[in-house]
Structure 1
Amino acid sequence: MRLSTTIASRPRLRQSLIVTASAVLLGLMATFAAATVAPTSAQAAQAACATSPTTGCIQGTIRDSEGEPAAGVDVVATGASDFEETGTTDDTGRWSIAVTEAGPYSVTVDTESLPDGQFLVNADNAERTVNVNLGASASALFALTAEEGAVTGDATASSFNWDRFAQQFASGIRLGLLLALAAIGLSLIYGTTGLSSFSHGEQVTLGGLLAYSFTSIGVPLILAAVLSTVICAATGYLQDLAIWKPLRKRRLSLTQLMIVTIGLSIALQYAFQYFYGAGTVRIDRDNPSTVTFLGITLTVQSYVAMAISVVVLVGTGLFLLKTRTGRATRAVSDNPALAAASGIDVDRIIRLVWTLAAGLAGLSGVMLGLVLNGVNWMTGLQILLLIFAAVTLGGLGTAFGALVGSLIIGIVVELTNIWLPGDFKYATALLILILILVFRPQGIFGRKERVG
């Protein structure tokens, strides 16, 4: 008798295993969250500002009109209780100021310290007010221009140029690769089960928060990323074992299952907020250094994240194309009933897909936490619609379509930032999603389905 048959015949034992595994995972989260309360002595000794329960950071990066780091610029922060501190930009253009009281702070640039021929954009209204929370970072942004008196909206301050296009294009590829890690898993889940999982974004958040927890207790960054990915993959396995397979056996409709994913998403969000708080936490507490390559300036973390993403995505593609299990996965995605009739263990493939999808999403969360220099309890929720837009654009249920869709969405979102301010650029992804559903609902690589 097979082990799976033996376990299936003992429902109490199976339920005990599930409860025990869930308790262990929650215990790990609580332990990690408690371990991050006090910073290590090494962190306290860093010259750059590092957040802690008693310290908040005001930080930013200043670049000149050509996009090069502006070194030696003095930034002054003032606040209550006669607080006044000055931070000076380093060779990468970054500056930071530590504060020990939460509240509003006024931040200005000492114009006398600006490089020759450089002026502040909106110099007449150059004061920035930021609200700082202890244990979190707040940013104050300043733009430089080569023309004195330039204001936002002037051609000198916001006009199109090819250097900026190349910079935004590279940022778009970076975003697309990180979205692809999560989107491929979501697409495979849809292909094998027909389910659109709204809790997939929380797997991204979990990966970033676990990496933060590991690095906070002294685990090397690379090992922390590996452990976080493995634990996220394990949660995907447990989800299918404890939730999705039993619900499939009860023949719940896809609408009911989708509502379950929404409820799971909300529950996980509040669990993250309970254990880690509402602030943003940093996986790598060092101020990121930048590297300029072919005229494009990105942080070292960005280059590393992009390289890892490419390797993992290529490996995933080879797995789906070249291995027997990968071909079985694509067969189940194309036609589960026919795959089952051909002798493929559909339940085993679906569990593998949930495990792989959760692991890839967790890795995406780690990479996003490094690139964005922080992660919080709703990071996954903030990018969930971008992931759905990428999957829909590429074609629901197609892994390679999700990759192409992610790259397109990432590039379009970042290029839009040339003309649209702030986070309004994300609206373009939703516009693309609407246009896809109107003109080509099956996506780029999807197939039309016969109705009736």
Structure 2
Amino acid sequence: MAMAAGGATAAAAAPLAETGQPAPYNFNGIVRDGQTPLEGVEITVSGNGVDETVATGADGRWLVGLQEQGTYTVSIDPSTLPEGVTLRDPSFESRELTASSSANGVLFPLGEPTGGGSAPTPSGGTGGNTGTGGEGGTGGTGSSDPGGDAGSGEASTGAASNDFGSKLLARIISGVSFGLLLALAAIGITLIFGTTGVNNFAHGEMLTFGGIAFYAATTLVGLPVWISVVLTLVAAAAFGWFHDAAIFRPLRRRRVGLVQVLIVTIGLSIALRYFYQFLIGGGTEQLRVDRGIVVQVGPVNMTMSNVVGMAVSVVVLLGVGLFLTRTRIGKATRAVSDNASLAAASGIDVDRVIRIVWVLAGVLTGLAGILYTYFIGANIKWDVGFTILLLLFAGVTLGGLGSAFGALVGALVIGLVTELATLFIAPDLRYAVALLVLILVLLVRPQGILGRRERIG
């Protein structure tokens, strides 16, 4: 079956026609020579009752829909490549790959032979002169339409058709999903800053810890998903407590300045990051978990895991809001954030509040790590938290430093901007657009969206 020019949607037509439902899984990608997409290159996927041949569209995209997970043979026909364009490694011409998530990107590196190399994984990434596959990707957050650039793995949300309205709606849903995930971790940052004045640059590694713990429980040990979630959250809470008890509480007692503490957090970030690399290696590890069926909501296709992830995020964020506004500890946390000295004079145990904040931050950020590795991409990498750390701080700063509700608003704005930007620019530039929006907002409102004006001097 040949794909019509215009991309992946044509390739998915057969499964839709035969079953009346969106194909729950797919192999997809973009074939490019440098930055030039190649049209008419034939890709064949066979195995498990599938024998489909598609041709890349004018944008170099291709997609083959699948009805079940499993191992398939994915091949490229070198004779359909333009004259002078060859595979970098002939062994990539045909290989067996596993469809383990809803969207599985496939790499066909083009260019001069390098004399070696290893076969790429079936999910996302970029390498040399290749195009990459779409929604699932690896680590980070990526384009959400099928066949979009991977290497960044965001919510598995794609347009069921190729019109602009469907793509816009898919990106909005994907942006909200990503924003909710960012909000979970960003609230932890803003609570720590509000009660201690510390900008924790090791916060991304707390997110990575949640992902690695979840990966270990589900894939290395083989525990059920929900038991793994509970164990990961307990471990994340203990990790947050350890941060305060072993490092930051002793620094507070010695009255170490904030600049020195900031340097400590940067060093801690580097140390933890490379410790994680030592533990799981420098590649991307796939989780052996079932992400559920693909459901169609109007013109948008979503995996059930993505729907559950958004629902969990909303429920947890509402719970945090109620905790901060309706409970005694929550009110004490806000009092310490407003004025720690006055709170202490009022009889509040400031150290106890800070310790609770670190535990809560650990839980929220660990949950964000679970969502990022399971509900978003079903994979984990040693520096996954570091890759979005700047976006977390952007959300906190945009919403207003020290404001938990501001962090929620700021994170949602950042999430929406990063995803909507991919409608008009290359996905690799979407983070730059989000940071540009941050700069523009702060030029107009320096205290952030929900921040308070403060007199300096």
**TM-score strictly above 0.5:** yes
CA–CA separation in structure 2 for the residues paired with 1:254 and 1:231: 28
CA shift in 2, pair 1:95/1:104, >3 Å: farther
CA shift in 2, pair 1:293/1:286, >3 Å: same
2:121 maps to 1:141: no
Could you state the TM-score of these two structures normalised by the residue count of structure 2? 0.70
CA–CA separation in structure 1 for the residues paired with 2:225 and 2:271: 28
Q: 2:261 aligns with which of 232, 243, 257?
A: 257
SS in structure 1 at match of 2:296: strand
Amino acid in the other structure paired with 2:456: V
Runs (5+) with no aligned partner, structure 1: 1-60, 77-83, 109-125, 146-157
Pairwise CA distance, 1:248: 0.7
The equivalent of 1:242 in structure 2 is 246
Comparing 282-291 with 432-441, greater Cα deviation is found at: 282-291
CA–CA separation in structure 2 for the residues paired with 1:104 and 1:439: 55
Per-residue deviation, residues 290-348 of structure 1 (Å, max 9, x unmatched): 21113221111111111111111111111111100000001111111111111111110
Pairwise CA distance, 1:95: 8.1
Per-residue deviation, residues 339-373 of structure 1 (Å, max 9, x unmatched): 11111111100111011001110110000101122
CA–CA separation in structure 2 for the residues paired with 1:235 and 1:254: 22
Pairwise CA distance, 1:449: 1.2
Pairwise CA distance, 1:201: 0.4
CA shift in 2, pair 1:214/1:326, >3 Å: same
2:108 maps to 1:128: yes
2:371 maps to 1:391: no
Select the structure that is richer in helix: 1
- Assess if the C-alpha contact under 8 Å between 2:194 and 2:338 holds in 1: yes
C-alpha RMSD over aligned residues: 3.4
CA–CA separation in structure 1 for the residues paired with 2:93 and 2:396: 41
2:46 maps to 1:86: yes
SS in structure 1 at match of 2:204: helix
Q: 2:344 aligns with which of 340, 344, 347?
A: 340
Amino acid in the other structure paired with 2:346: S
Aligned residues: 354
- Assess if the C-alpha contact under 8 Å between 1:75 and 1:86 holds in 2: no
Pairwise CA distance, 1:261: 0.5
Instruction: Identify which of structures 1 and 2 has the higher relative contact order when contacts are C-alpha pairs closer than 8 Å and 6+ apart.
Output: 1
Q: 2:218 aligns with which of 215, 220, 229?
A: 215
2:279 maps to 1:272: no
Q: 2:437 aligns with which of 432, 437, 443?
A: 432
Per-residue deviation, residues 58-84 of structure 1 (Å, max 9, x unmatched): xxx9543899746999989xxxxxxx9
Pairwise CA distance, 1:159: 9.1
CA shift in 2, pair 1:263/1:144, >3 Å: closer
Could you state the TM-score of these two structures normalised by the residue count of structure 1? 0.71
SS in structure 2 at match of 1:129: coil
The equivalent of 1:289 in structure 2 is 293
Pairwise CA distance, 1:104: 7.4
Pairwise CA distance, 1:85: 7.3
Amino acid in the other structure paired with 2:46: T
> Residues 362-441 of structure 1: matches in 2 within 5 Å?
362-370=366-374, 371-441=376-446
- Assess if the C-alpha contact under 8 Å between 1:202 and 1:380 holds in 2: yes
- Assess if the C-alpha contact under 8 Å between 1:176 and 1:409 holds in 2: yes
The equivalent of 1:13 in structure 2 is none
2:368 maps to 1:358: no
Per-residue deviation, residues 12-39 of structure 1 (Å, max 9, x unmatched): xxxxxxxxxxxxxxxxxxxxxxxxxxxx
CA shift in 2, pair 1:92/1:343, >3 Å: farther
- Assess if the C-alpha contact under 8 Å between 2:239 and 2:362 holds in 1: yes
The equivalent of 1:451 in structure 2 is 456
CA–CA separation in structure 2 for the residues paired with 1:75 and 1:320: 45
Amino acid in the other structure paired with 2:325: L
CA–CA separation in structure 2 for the residues paired with 1:222 and 1:73: 26
CA–CA separation in structure 1 for the residues paired with 2:372 and 2:273: 17
- Assess if the C-alpha contact under 8 Å between 1:92 and 1:290 holds in 2: no
